[in-house]
Structure 1
Amino acid sequence: MNRVMTENAPIQEKTVWRWSLLWVTGLFLLAMRPIEAFDTFWQLQAGKYIWQTGAFLYRDTFSLAADAYRMEHCWLHDLILYGLYSTGGYFLLSLLKPVLIALCGGLLLRWAQQRGGNPLVVLPVLTLCLIGSSDSWLVRPQLWTFLLSILILVFLYRGRERGWRSWLWLPPLMLLWANLHAACIFGFALIGAFWVGECWRAWRGSSSWRTLGQLSVCGVLTFAAAFVNPYGYRIPLGELLAHFNQLQVLTGNAPVGMAGNMEWLPPTFAQVPWFYLIMALWGATLLSRLWRRQLEVAELVYFAGFSYMGFSQIRHTTLVALLAGFFLPLAIQELLTGRERTRTWLARPVPWHWLPGLMLLAALVWGAAGAGRLGLGVRADQYPVAAADFVATNRPAANLYNAYDWGGYLMWRLYPDYLVFIDGRSTSPRHFAASDILDNGWEGWRALLDEYGINTIVTRTCFYDSGGPLPLIDGLVQDRDWSLVFQDGVAVVFVRNDAASRELRSRFAIPSRQAYQTMLEEAGRLQEEGYERPRTWLALGWAAFNLGDGRRALDAYRHFLGIVPTNLEAQSRIALLQRLYPGGEEAGR
């Protein structure tokens, strides 16, 4: 009997590993999406610069705001990106995301398995938490924050179970984190919340004060490790200051450049329904344990802190959803095992217990593949690829003005021949303010183009966040000082009408009104992405109107008015169209 049990034990463990690997592989496939983050390319350019020069960045070297201070808070991540690109191009670079997401999922699954988690409960709940984090599955440094946050939690709780030596991993993890991403400050919060829980356990006699002292020493060493980076105190403490600046968005007192950034606004249920569901489930399990007086204080502190993070700023909801996966699967299983029959059933996992979770993940992969969201390389319609080719080949006169989102890509493609005007890492309040005036076509926009010596403009035609039409396009189309020389379904390129551009205009000038064809295609593409952007209907209506498609314009404005019935712009445009085109028939303007 003993011999049989001994021989069967490794077979059972091997089976668990095989099922686990199958689930992690499915997660890898689900995260295998083309590069689509705007920030990826300024990070690539920074990594290239650091690698080639052997120097860190302290100035905004790649933009017209070259004198502005720049802290490259993710310099090690930048080097990794450039190393991957240099080795295997965009193909290898795009594999970084699914690898890190699969590691996160594998760690969370293993943690639950080692504590008796049954795959019938654990896999669906973990899948829910990971889907809740999927909006941040981008080639950006927060992927390292995802992974390192999980590792910090693992070693904190392992230290409680196995002894303080597990906590010795915390300082080197923080040292790595502080050089990969400035969000390392979040590690302080994770350790602090656990420390509060250990204080409670020591006071209640569940742990010793000596153990608490050991944790405190490791915590101090971990805090000190965050300062070992090329920028010293600015990375951990500067990120803390940035957090308080971000909170000013809620009061309307945000620094220039933060106001209007949708990442720093509170979320709504329509934007992140999975986050709301995850927090509701987690809260319910905590209430149940509170009722039974089995609540774990550290977990309660984590829940309170994560709730504050997620409900105050939408940018935090993905990290919170992911880290809920550390607690929620086992918490739900504990709740379900309150009944004797369920407890007996879940206590002995059998192979079919894996099937619901695997089938759920397979369905998600199938759906993503069917929607065309999976793949490797670069998602070309997110970036002005052809426009950058046009500028690099034909070399219109500098200086360059560009859309905020595309600054990173353009510096990657065009530096050092061109400096971008603004990008996702800009720190110049002056350039942020100027960009707002230019994009919105506010009073003085022409004077700003003259002031900065702008001779070439590479821009999108819709605001990326809201999907609404970019007023700058109207100004450029109507201004005789500017000519459209390039247009495709993604970007437009305008050049100043002067002697320097005469030869270029003679070869490539096209009717400026063709910019509205780009607007039409861009607005349609933004709608297909599935995010809530009702103002894309305004862009569709305005573009169709300027292209002479009265019927389509009227339909678009009516659709928008159905969403926002009080919108005066849509009301006035509908009235105008009805006067110009009675019956809504198609006609030219």
Structure 2
Amino acid sequence: MQEPGMKKTEEILKTALFFFFALIVFFCAAAPENSASYFDKATKGRQIVRSMELPETFDFSYTEQQMVKPQTWLSDSLFYAMSYVTGIKFMFVPVFLLYALFFLVLFATVYRRQQKKYVSIVMPLCLFGAFLILPKLNSSGTAAGVFFTAYFIYVMELRPIPKKLWYYVSLPAAAVIWANTSSTSLLAPVIMAIYGLFFLLQIKENTEKKYLYNIYIYLFSLLTVCGAVLFLPGDLNSHLSFIREIFTGGFHRGFNYAGNAIIYYILLYLFIAMTAALVIFDTRENSDSGRNSEFMKDVVLFIIFLGLAVTDAEYIPYLLAVAVPVSAYYLYLAFRWEVVMPRQWTESSLQRVKLPVYGLMLFFSLFVLMSYSTSASKEAYYPRAAAKYIAAEGVPANLYNEPKWGSFLAYNLYPAVRPFISYDEKTAAEAKEIESGSEALDTYMDGYSLNSFLIKKDSAALMSALFERGYMAAYFDDEVVLLVNPAKTDNYYRHVYPHNPKNFYDKKNPGAAIQEMEMILETRPSEDAVIELSRLYEDAGRDNAIDFLQDSLERYPWKEKIKKELGKLFYKDGDYENALETWGMSAWTDKEIYSMARDARKMMKRAE
């Protein structure tokens, strides 16, 4: 008998664990690194919906035409439709619902296979696998494919009996959606074929349980699923390319062991090793009779999906969707036959184990939750103001930009502007050469007809190289600068040079530079514009610059950079008290300001 107090504590811990895990999944869907794939899917879906046909290629970027995958047209279109309703900023909400549904199916499979027994004991291993799946999920087709993989396995575990008829009837419909949302739908008949062999072996091992398997229900589902996968969306070449890519596309593609990524792969290999060890440790001599076929089915499934995962990192979540229920099941068997049965544990004995296990899982989940929530709170930066300027004023073709902004710019500017989008390793290498500002820059400028560059202001090498080639600024703010070829447009600044490593403005004509900066500040205000204009004023007289910055602190919402600049002017003017007061906390957190503040305090002490 369970003590009422312990039972209540267990329920509280279960509820807290469920709540924490739901929050982790939510923050994973809201992670800023997902936004690039959101923009990519929405852009493709918009072109499909607006043209009312499936194009042969997508030409969003000047780098190359991207081949259209017919099997993902539905997910692209649905994604665009949802983004039209929710806005691209809130697309993480439907993505979260898909993630949540996937984990619900995954844990339902674990629950079903173990016949509701000892679930608490295997839950730490399940959470370990779930946390490995989360970083690999995204909205570009992986989530849909992994969900349907888990769903097919769940339904096949139910056995084809009349009572479960509607589950099997749902498989053809699921296959239709899978075939139009992911390139991995060929896995559906593979999974069903493996389970079909398992059913036959089960009938052979236990003829008295033949009534548990209705071969007609199974064959109906298998044939209709094969039809849905092979003839929808009517492109057999996509399935052939999927097979060709697996067997001839190379080995270990997409694996990256640089930086913190190596920690992920160490944990992944540990989980795979644990799964293999649990399967090998399967105590078949002590377990229920007639389980040889189930053992073979699990081994074949695990090996096939392990083979997929080692060829391409894209298939890691597919492997984990298979491995989590398998590892949990064999841990359940080991615990049952090696611990519970020999020691004759009762429910109260298990209760003493459950509470520490739940406590440990809660602690670990809280740690993971803090990590994901911190990541999700940092919104991905995109040059939104610059995109609005380009949409309104236009730029000469073609536009090079930071690779991570490509999908965002295509979503906001295509077809008027075709930005740089890195589709493969070749274009990624080209981007590095362009950013370096090397002599190869001229080759790419001529080859791609590059006449506009939207880059970060800290891209010093590229900005300097473009300044030497006569490029002029058409727009800048606190983060980015837009440089254009003056031979292709008249829309650029004549006397302001934010990309000049030596002089920000035209020293020969400071009056015109001041007028241009005042116009910039009036039409497109930014903190950097305020500071640069103050430096122009300073050249004419420090008092003018101080008055301007003091007025700017009242007019504009930004404060920190302006305060630092104003404090520097007070410092140069010998007004150390005002300098320290203006700097405030920056006197302790900023290295440059800290040094000046220390000198200011020394000067004030000497003056006393």
| TM-score normalised according to structure 1 size | 0.68
| Residue aligning to 1:275 | 268
Structure 1: 5+ residue stretches without partners: 1-12, 251-259, 463-469, 515-589
- Aligned positions of 1:257-296 closer than 5 A: 262=255, 270-289=263-282, 292=285, 294-295=291-292, 296=295
Change (3 A) 1:480 1:232: same
Counterpart position of 1:30: 24
Rounded to whole Å, the distance in 2 between the matches of 1:64 and 1:407 is 11
Q: What aligned pairs does 1:420-439 form with structure 2 within 5 A after superposition?
A: 420-424=419-423, 438=434
TM-aligned CA deviation for residue 348 of structure 1? 8.9
Which secondary structure state, in structure 2, belongs to the residue aligned with residue 133 of structure 1? helix
**For 1:41 and 1:476, how far apart are their aligned partners in 2?**
31
Give the count of matched residue pairs. Answer: 481
Match of 2:240 in 1: 237
Which residue identity is paired with 2:243? L
- Counterpart residue type for residue 312 of structure 1: T
- Map 1:297-308 onto structure 2 (within 5 A): 297-308=296-307
Residue number in structure 2 paired with 1:135: 135
Q: Which residue of 2 aligns with 1:49?
A: 47
CA drift at 1:281: 1.6
Paired with 1:64 and 1:53, the residues of 2 have a C-alpha distance of: 20
Q: Which moved more, 1:285-294 or 1:27-36?
A: 285-294
1:182 corresponding residue in structure 2: 183
1:511 aligns with 2:499: yes
Equivalent-residue separation in structure 1 for 2:33 and 2:187 (angstroms): 25
Q: Which moved more, 1:35-44 or 1:384-393?
A: 384-393
1:181-580 paired onto structure 2 within 5 Å: 181-202=182-203, 204=205, 215-216=218-219, 218-230=221-233, 232-244=235-247, 247-248=249-250, 262=255, 270-289=263-282, 292=285, 294-295=291-292, 296-338=295-337, 339=339, 340=341, 344-345=345-346, 353=354, 356-357=357-358, 360-361=361-362, 363-365=364-366, 367-369=368-370, 372-373=373-374, 375=376, 379-381=379-381, 383-424=382-423, 438=434, 444-459=440-455, 473=462, 476=465, 479-483=468-472, 493-496=482-485, 498-506=486-494, 509-513=497-501
Kindly provide the CA deviation profile for residues 374-418 of structure 1, in whole angstroms up to 9, marking residues without a partner as x: 648x8323x444543443344221212344443222110111211
| Counterpart Cα distance in 1 of 2:55 and 2:359 | 45
Partner of 1:77: 75
Shift of 1:162: 6.8
Say if 1:478 and 1:500 are closer, same or farther in 2 by CA, change over 3 A: closer
Deviations 1:304-356 (A, max 9, x none): 12222233332322332233222222221211122326663469976993774
Letter in 1 for 2:80: Y
Structure 2: gaps of 5 or more residues: 1-6, 503-608
Cα distance change, pair 97–369 in 1 and its aligned pair in 2 (3 A): farther
Q: What are the superposed Cα offsets for residues 433-482 of structure 1, whole Å, 9 maximum, x if unpaired?
A: 966865677875423322322111235799xxxxxxx9983884574244
Corresponding letter in the other structure for 1:285: L
Q: What SS does the aligned partner of 1:57 have?
A: coil
Give the secondary structure class of the aligned counterpart of 2:97. helix
Task: Kindly provide the amino acid, as one letter, of the partner of residue 266 in structure 2.
Answer: P
1:275 and 1:218 mapped to 2: Cα distance?
Answer: 34
What is the Cα deviation at residue 91 of structure 1? 5.0
* Structure 1 residues 204 and 417: CA distance shift in structure 2, 3 A: same
CA separation in 1, counterparts of 2:187 and 2:74?
A: 18
Residue of structure 1 in register with 2:4 after alignment: none
C-alpha distance in 2 between matches for 1:359 and 1:312: 35
Could you tell which deviates more after superposition, 23-32 or 347-356?
347-356
1:29-79 CA distance string (max 9 Å, x none): 102232422222121112223333332232224233686642353222222
Between the aligned partners of 1:332 and 1:402, the Cα distance in structure 2 is: 51
Contact 1:29 1:365 in 2 (8 A): no
User: Using a 3 Å threshold, how does the CA distance of structure 1 residues 371 and 198 change in structure 2: closer, same or farther?
Assistant: closer
Aligned-partner Cα distance in 2 for 1:451–1:202: 66
> Which amino acid counterpart does residue 379 of structure 2 have in structure 1?
R
How far does the alpha carbon of each residue in 1:7-50 deviate from its partner, in whole angstroms, 9 at most, with x for none?
A: xxxxxx99999987654443221022324222221211122233
Distance 2:48 2:355 in 1: 46
Cα distance between partner residues in 2 of 1:347 and 1:238:
56
Task: State percent identity of aligned pairs.
Answer: 14
Deviation at 1:151, TM superposition (A): 0.8
Contact kept, 8 Å, 1:264 with 1:315, in 2: the verdict is no
- Give me the whole-angstrom Cα distance separating, in 2, the residues matched to 1:442 and 1:336: 62
Residues 263 and 193 of structure 1, relative CA distance in 2, 3 Å threshold: farther
Give me the whole-angstrom Cα distance separating, in 1, the residues matched to 2:107 and 2:122.
7
Q: Give the partner amino acid of 1:233.
A: L
Q: Whole-Å Cα distance in 1 between the matches of residues 318 and 125 of structure 2? A: 16
Structure 1 vs Structure 2 CA RMSD: 4.4
Partner of 2:184, secondary structure, is helix
Structure showing greater radius of gyration is 2
Cα pair distance change 1:150/1:474, threshold 3 Å: same
What is the alpha-carbon distance in structure 2 between the residues aligned to residue 156 and residue 226 of structure 1?
17
Report if aligned partners of 2:455, 2:480 keep a CA contact under 8 Å in 1: yes
CA distance in 1, matches of 2:406, 2:70: 16
Q: Sort the Cα spacing of 1:103 and 1:52 in 2 relative to 1 into closer, same or farther, 3 A.
A: same
CA contact (8 A) 1:123 1:354 kept: no
Corresponding letter in the other structure for 1:53: S
